[in-house]
Amino acid sequence: MTAYIIRRLLLLPALLFGVTVIIFGLLQFLSPVERSALYVREIPHTEGAVEGIIKRYGLDQPIYVQYWHWLVGRIDPVTGKRVGGILRGDLGYSRVGSQPVASLIAQRFPATAELALWAVVPIIGVGIWLGVQSAVRHNRFFDQVARVFSIIGWSFPTFVFGLLVLMIFYAKLKWFPPGRISDWASAVINSGQFHQYTHLYTIDALLNLRFDIFWDALKHLILPVLTLSYLNWALLLRVTRSSMLEVLGQDYIRTARAKGLPERLVINRHARPNALIPVVTLAGLMVAGLLGGVVITETVFNYPGIGSAAAQAAIQLDVITVLGFALFNGTILILANLIVDILYAVIDPRVRLE
Amino acid sequence: MKERLSQGSEFPPLRKIGWLERLVGPDNYRALRALVTTPAAIAGLVLLAIFALVAIAAPLIAPPANLRDPYRIPRDGFSPDPRPMGSEWKHNPPPLPFWWRFVMKTDRWVHILGTASGQWDIFYGVIWGTRTAFRVGITITLATLIIGVLVGSISAYYGGIIDNILMRIVDIFLTLPFLMAALILATILVPRFGKSIYPAVIALIGFGWMGYSRLIRGDILSIKEREFVLAARAVGARDYRILFRHIVPNAIFPTLVVASMDIGSYVLSFAALAFLGIGVEIGYADWGQLLSFARNWITSLADYWYIVVWPGLALVLFVLAWNLVGDALRDALDPRMRTIRR
């Protein structure tokens, strides 16, 4: 297994290289002036300023030189300091956020992480439960309903679903508002009294023993979590169900039944663990997707996370910012893939032996 | 024939083989037959037929105000407040459709499904949005299919270092999540193409082809070892002839099926980009954009529900129809439903 994990780890730099290549490739669609946002906040409106910036930051140099500078930064010939360089955490300057892209990501990430934290348990728990039950009751009423739900859920765009639940639960019933936190709670959080340990409002509120704020933050999370859930349930249900059906047809399940095991044990001990192996991949990618920011759901609910920031930047054509988010997103995806592959080796001996 | 079976013969029972089965092969024929025998697939096909009729007859159902730019939704004034279903056209109404006089016995043309903020007529947008959906879906699918098949078949046929390079390029394109990648490319393309459907369409094409090249590559790898390829080579056929006349036609069917069933999901992605406000100019007949109008009125959506419900219904039914058909096909092609693609 160690050899497998090492092999997998060796692949990591190659994958990360792949992400940087595609992001840098997309950058090349921009003019040198637009690309200067990687290094400077704005170009002064004076004669020759543009040419000066291009020369100063080497935006007219061969592409591999520029790629290298983009990776590790470039010594500014005027100040003698190293500027830029994504490996140093400098992703350029965000026109939309009026701050460096990296600090914009850091500022927005807690909101996205909080949403992911609350979404992950219901999505994976309920999704897998639905799939297992659906397979165990193959072709019975539960299964039929679950399959209908799966295909309709799969066809339902998140933004339509999001607008519908906003219409019902916000505009009509006034139960769950959009956004992340109410104004009064936001005032409390930003006052000196409230200590922000994690920047996840629900957890901070509990640590500060402010249950009213906890409830307020939770109320803002319910609709986005619901929206993320139905789509992922539809997907998990399909995959778990078909995998479970396949396992239930195996000989060792018949053996388990033949030796007189109660059906509950056959399902829980023999069938389910084996059926969940392919589900691990999907669940891992879902978590990565949640952490990378869910562009549409966050936009519909006006939730100030990574995804809605990326969408805002895209609308205002701030490509440098969007590319910074994409780099972050792609890196998370690669790391999640790595973790999933290693988990695979832990839970499935067949992978180790290959 | 029964006798032969009961004697344990290894031959399957004889049956008549139609021309279609001869043309596409037994496995693919089974998939095609599933289309007309599975109830869900039939429902999907009926829905698609209705959508296609609406798209074709759009100029009759909702005659355009400006014949030169029919995809532009006509607007009735500029007021930001949406108006309810059935309210009257006040400013420059488009020509009255013939069926309205026939059904309603009146010459008063109304906003059948109300107006969105900015007085864009929702009925017109939903009807012409059907055309946009088909245009966008078919364009993207055809283009991604061509790129995917070219890359995948060349990669599989030549193998070795070419295969390695092309497949690594595919891997690189797959490192970014689909919607995120399309979002970036569309953002880059908007200043270059102006606000139109092209930035979003090109962006979805640019990051949509990789699945097909992997799929067809797998099929070609097995087909290129078959005798008829050797025969073609033996008579001295050139590479491109062997590849595109002998191999690809024999390998393309599963890829073709998967691709054609992706039309629904491409339309969904396109609508998502339009909903975010990337691509189409304001007032272009597109379901995603109509839905984005609702975002101006989140607090009063209970009163203005028709802005969400009608375009939303059209989009959901359209995607659902493709998924119903696609599910039946996939079940028939691969009983274990292993392939999952978003």
Lowest mean pLDDT among A65-69, A309-313, B162-166: A65-69
State residue B302's pLDDT score. 82
Q: Give the list of residues 6+ apart from residue A144 with CB closer than 8 angstroms, or none.
A: none
Distance of CA B185 to the CA centre of its chain: 20
State residue B230's pLDDT score. 92
Q: Which residues of A touch B340 (CB under 8 A)?
A: 235, 238-239, 282
The pLDDT tens digits for A223-244 are 999 999 998 999 999 899 989 9
State residue B208's pLDDT score. 92
pTM as predicted: 0.89
Gyration radius of chain A over CA positions = 25
- The yes-or-no verdict on residue A269 having pLDDT over 60 is yes
Gyration radius of chain B over CA positions = 25
CB-nearest partner of A157 from B177, B315, B336 = B315
Q: Considering only CA atoms, which of A224, A44, A322 is closest in space to residue B185?
A: A322
Tell me how far CA of residue A96 lies from CA of A93, A320, A344, B195, in angstroms: 9, 10, 41, 20
Q: Using a CB–CB cutoff of 8 Å, tell me whether A155 touches chain B.
A: yes
Specify which residues B88 forms β-bridges with. B110
Distance between CA atoms of residues A104 and A107, nearest Å? 5
Interface test with B, best of A159, A238, A291 (most B CBs within 10 A): A159
Tell me how far CA of residue B294 lies from CA of A8, A112, A304, B85, B95, in angstroms: 47, 24, 19, 15, 27
State residue B337's pLDDT score. 42
A105 or B76, higher pLDDT: A105
- The yes-or-no verdict on residue B181 having pLDDT over 80 is yes
Work out the burial of residue B191: count CB atoms within 10 Å of its CB; fewer than 13 is exposed, 13-18 middle, 19 or more buried.
middle
Q: Cα(first)–Cα(last) distance of chain B, in Å?
A: 46
- The yes-or-no verdict on residue B12 having pLDDT over 70 is no
CB-nearest partner of B177 from A15, A29, A333 = A333
Given a contact cutoff of 8 angstroms between Cβ atoms, the answer to whether B71 and B132 are in contact is yes
Would the CB atoms of A171 and B299 count as touching at under 8 Å?
yes
**B342–chain A nearest CA distance, Å:** 10
State residue A352's pLDDT score. 65
A354 or A319, higher pLDDT: A319
Given a contact cutoff of 8 angstroms between Cβ atoms, the answer to whether A278 and A246 are in contact is no
Contact map slice: A 301-340 vs B, CB within 8 A: 302, 310-311, 313-315, 317-319, 322-323, 325-326, 329-330, 333-334
The mean pLDDT value for A131-154 works out to 91
- The yes-or-no verdict on residue B31 having pLDDT over 80 is no
Tell me the CB-side half-sphere exposure of residue A332, using CA atoms within 13 A. 22
Share of chain B above pLDDT 70, in %: 93
The mean pLDDT value for B182-199 works out to 87
Q: Using a CB–CB cutoff of 8 Å, tell me whether A157 touches chain B.
A: yes
- The yes-or-no verdict on residue A181 having pLDDT over 60 is yes
How confident is the prediction for chain B on average, in pLDDT? 85
Q: Using a CB–CB cutoff of 8 Å, tell me whether A33 touches chain B.
A: no
- The yes-or-no verdict on residue A47 having pLDDT over 70 is yes
Q: What is the ipTM of this complex?
A: 0.88
Given a contact cutoff of 8 angstroms between Cβ atoms, the answer to whether A184 and A153 are in contact is no
| Identity at A86, one-letter amino acid code | I
Given a contact cutoff of 8 angstroms between Cβ atoms, the answer to whether B125 and B311 are in contact is yes
Q: Considering only CA atoms, which of B268, B270, B276, B273 is closest in space to residue B319?
A: B268
pLDDT-based confidence at residue A201 (cuts at 50, 70, 90): confident
Q: Which residues of B touch A230 (CB under 8 A)?
A: none
pLDDT-based confidence at residue A203 (cuts at 50, 70, 90): confident
CB-nearest partner of B175 from A30, A160, A330 = A330
Would the CB atoms of A317 and B337 count as touching at under 8 Å?
no
Distance between CA atoms of residues B35 and B42, nearest Å? 7
Tokens of B290: 């109509």
Q: Give the list of residues 6+ apart from residue A236 with CB closer than 8 angstroms, or none.
A: A123, A124, A127, A128, A130, A131, A279, A282, A283, A286
pLDDT-based confidence at residue A274 (cuts at 50, 70, 90): confident
Distance between CA atoms of residues B20 and B29, nearest Å? 7
Specify which residues A83 forms β-bridges with. A74
pLDDT-based confidence at residue B42 (cuts at 50, 70, 90): very high
What element of type H or E holds B111? strand B110-111
- The yes-or-no verdict on residue A354 having pLDDT over 60 is no
State residue A353's pLDDT score. 60
Q: Considering only CA atoms, which of A104, A79, A76 is closest in space to residue A91?
A: A104
Distance between CA atoms of residues B239 and B242, nearest Å? 5
How confident is the prediction for chain A on average, in pLDDT? 87
Helix axes A101-136 and A306-315, enclosed angle (nearest 10): 120
The mean pLDDT value for B322-328 works out to 87
State residue B151's pLDDT score. 95
The pLDDT tens digits for B86-136 are 788 887 788 888 787 777 777 778 888 888 888 888 899 999 999 999 999
The mean pLDDT value for A181-189 works out to 83
- The yes-or-no verdict on residue B154 having pLDDT over 90 is yes
pLDDT-based confidence at residue B338 (cuts at 50, 70, 90): very low
The mean pLDDT value for B259-264 works out to 86
Q: Using a CB–CB cutoff of 8 Å, tell me whether B186 touches chain A.
A: yes
The mean pLDDT value for B311-326 works out to 93
Residue B336 DSSP class: T
B330 or B164, higher pLDDT: B164
Would the CB atoms of A152 and B320 count as touching at under 8 Å?
yes
What element of type H or E holds A144? helix A141-155
Specify which residues B110 forms β-bridges with. B88
**DSSP-based three-state secondary structure for A191:** coil
Helix axes B122-158 and B248-261, enclosed angle (nearest 10): 150
